[in-house]
Amino acid sequence: MAKEFYRDEGERVVISDAIVFDRRGGVIYLFKPRLTPEDVIASKFAAVIDEAGVRYAIVAGYIAILFGRARRSDDIDFVLEYLGEDKFVNLCRKARRAGFTMMQGNIESEESVRDVYRGYLVRGYSVRFMYGDIILPNIEAKLATTSVHRYVIFHSIRVVVNNEYTLRVSPLELQIAYKLYLGSDKDIGDAIFLYTLFKKIISLQELHMWCGRLGVDCGVLGGDNW
Amino acid sequence: MTSVHEKELEADRRRNLEDVIKHARWEAEAARRLGRRWFELRDEWLIKAHEADKEMWEDARVREALVKAILAKDRVPRASRTQYSKAYQTTQKSKG
């Protein structure tokens, strides 16, 4: 990557020599020396969903981990746009070909996949996909059932990793407010990490808006403009 | 529980939360300052931890128990926000 890439210029904001944000396209470019199992699993599943033509966004802990938080996660959370049974069967077919299995059912059997759709997804439960023989982390996929889920998908930001693959992740402002809303030590740590790392590009107006909507006080983030 | 115990626990919880906040800030600053080097260090640790886990899963009984535990956990409603609200409000009060 050319050195000029790592200079704040126009719409380009440099967070570090590993993270650059391009405001024009709302894209974060991430460069890391190697991929972790979490990265590999997330990228493989994102490719499956893209191929199935389903819109999605990654939410929760993996976002902080993707950007460098030093902790592990048991799952990588995907929110999928609402999809019908047949489309889910198609998605599972592609997931199986890509090397995924399903925790709640047999991904090889269409009947089982349909049972999982009816028994879990449409009832608001998530479905877990494992990549190869890896149990943790696994993919936790759920359907968008709330207005916040839908917002996350339609306003997701693109993260281009090593110029090799793209992930769609929740808007950072909403993610930070939501983490504060969840409120465990781990969640608060994630919120502070993301806020501190991305201070330069976060919209305070939007962050305040989401904190207000979720009824949390963002003062804990310790910004200059609270 | 007596109010003395409650106060002690509250103070302990507040200290813990303050540590979490301080550490997360430090981590973000380090990730920003070190950039790719930070990822190199962090990812080496993540990969090693994952390899250790994989060895454990080679035992079929462990695999089965783990999957069962994960699926059982999924049926339990997520923790409420009370924990944060209480601790955070206490932190704010102590600052004020």
pLDDT at B77: 61
The sign of the dihedral angle between the CA atoms of A185, A190, A193, A196 is negative
Which residue of A lies nearest to B23 if distances are taken between CA atoms? Answer: A189
**Cα of B6 to nearest chain A Cα, Å:** 19
CATH number at A3-207: 3.30.460
| B51 contacts in chain A (CB < 8 Å) | none
pLDDT at B85 over 90: no
Residue A137 is given by DSSP the state E
As a whole number of angstroms, the distance between CA B87 and CA B10 comes to 7
The answer, for B83 touching chain A at a CB cutoff of 8 Å, is yes
Are A32 and B91 inside 8 Å of each other by CB? no
Do residues A168 and A158 lie in contact, with contact meaning Cβ atoms separated by under 8 Å? Answer: yes
Are A217 and B32 inside 8 Å of each other by CB? no
Q: Residue A130, class by beta-carbon neighbours within 10 Å (0-12 exposed, 13-18 middle, 19+ buried)? A: buried
DSSP state string for A98-110:
TTEEESSS-TT-H
Q: Which of A188, A169, A181 is nearest to A212 (CA)?
A: A181
Poorest-pLDDT segment among A19-28, A191-200, B35-44, B75-84 = B75-84
The answer, for B70 touching chain A at a CB cutoff of 8 Å, is yes
The answer, for A92 touching chain B at a CB cutoff of 8 Å, is no
Residue type, A222: G
Are A17 and B50 inside 8 Å of each other by CB? no
Domain ranges of chain A: 3-207
Round the average pLDDT of chain B to a whole number and report it: 83
Which residue of B lies nearest to A102 if distances are taken between CA atoms? Answer: B67
- pTM for the complete prediction? 0.90
Do residues A208 and A180 lie in contact, with contact meaning Cβ atoms separated by under 8 Å? Answer: no
ipTM: 0.91
The answer, for B91 touching chain A at a CB cutoff of 8 Å, is yes
| B23 contacts in chain A (CB < 8 Å) | 189
Residues near A169 by beta carbon (within 8 Å), at least 6 away in sequence: A57, A58, A59, A63, A66, A156, A157, A159, A175
Judge if the upstream peptide bond of residue B77 is cis by omega within 30 degrees of 0.
no
- Structural domain span for residue B63: 3-95
DSSP state string for A14-42:
ESSSSEEEETTTTEEEE--SS--HHHHHH
Total domains in the fold of chain B: 1
Chain A 13-72, CB below 8 Å of chain B: which residues? 15-19, 31-38, 67-70, 72
Average pLDDT per run of 10 along chain A, which is 226 residues long? Answer: 66 95 94 96 98 97 97 96 97 98 96 97 95 95 95 97 98 97 95 97 96 92 63
pLDDT at B81: 41
Tokens of A45: 């599943």
pLDDT at B95 over 70: no
